[in-house]
Amino acid sequence: MIANHQQFLISLEQLEALELALDSVSRDASSPAAFYIQATSIQKEICHSS
């Protein structure tokens, strides 16, 4: 849970980094299945960072 503005900024930075990672995966995945596997991991990170 975000309790103050500083924690919000940190969470925002983390989410932006994960968004960039997801974008990279979408460009570099060799197949839809490979994208799904990699994206699922990133999605879990996003859910746990908030």
pLDDT tens, residue by residue, 10-38 = 888 888 888 888 888 888 877 888 888 88
Instruction: Please name which of 44, 50, 45 lies closest in space to residue 3, comparing C-alpha atoms.
Output: 50
CA–CA separation, 40 and 7 (whole Å): 25
CA–CA separation, 42 and 39 (whole Å): 5
CA–CA separation, 41 and 6 (whole Å): 26
Q: What's the whole-model pTM score?
A: 0.62
Please state, in angstroms and as integers, the Cα–Cα distance from residue 37 to each residue in 5, 15, 22, 41, following that order. 33, 19, 11, 7
6: pLDDT strictly greater than 80: yes
49: pLDDT strictly greater than 70: no
